[in-house]
């Protein structure tokens, strides 16, 4: 089991504040500050992979971290806005290395809750992130 970091998207303002498609809504200046803070908070942590929702604001949330680590951001639809919690949990349970997963708030809160219900220790790191160990496959499905 490796360490996982669960990150929700940084501030991108409200849906109504952006005139374009929601999928392309970028971070606000506050969101960029949160993304920079996340990169600093994870400084010194072992991170082998960064996986994010394909939505722009999630990709931007982990961009400062990816740049600091010289790591690519892997785009993963299982972390998207209308993703299944079961599919996201299966993705996380399959992790073989220390991985950052960035998705949308509703999905991330559901994942954190599912991990806690399975008895996994999930600890908050900052307003955007939690740390845990990769859950065993048995913890992926609700009892």
53: CATH: 3.40.50.1240
Radius of gyration of the chain (CA): 14
Helix (H, G, I), strand (E, B) or coil at 43: coil
Per cent of the chain over pLDDT 70 is: 94
pLDDT at 108 over 70: yes
d(CA 23, CA 17): 13
Instruction: List the domain range (segments joined by +) for residue 52.
Output: 3-139
pLDDT digits (tens, 9 = 90+) for 122-135: 999 988 999 998 77
In angstroms, the CA 100 to CA 52 distance is: 8
Residue 102 phi, psi dihedral angles, 5° rounding: -120, 125
Number of domains in the chain: 1
CA distance 51 to 85: 16
Predicted pLDDT of residue 14? 87
Contacts (Cβ under 8 Å, ≥6 apart) of 98: 2, 3, 4, 5, 45, 46, 47, 48, 49
The model carries a pTM of 0.93
pLDDT higher than 80, residue 9: yes
Residue 141 reports pLDDT greater than 70: no
Predicted local confidence at residue 36, as pLDDT: 97
């Amino acid at each position: 089991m490796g360490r996982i970091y669960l990150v929700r998207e940084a501030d991108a303002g409200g849906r109504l504040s952006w005139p374009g498609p929601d999928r392309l809504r970028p971070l606000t200046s506050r969101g960029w500050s949160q993304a920079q803070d996340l990169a600093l908070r994870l400084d010194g942590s072992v991170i082998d992979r960064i996986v994010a929702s394909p939505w722009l604001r999630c990709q931007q949330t982990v961009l400062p971290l990816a740049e600091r680590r010289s790591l690519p951001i892997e785009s993963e639809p299982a972390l998207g806005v209308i993703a299944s919690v079961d599919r996201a949990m299966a993705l996380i349970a399959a992790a073989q290395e220390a991985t950052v997963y960035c998705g949308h708030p509703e999905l991330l809160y559901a994942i954190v809750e599912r991990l806690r219900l399975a008895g996994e220790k999930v600890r908050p790191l900052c307003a955007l992130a939690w740390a845990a160990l990769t859950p065993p496959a048995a913890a992926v499905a609700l009892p």
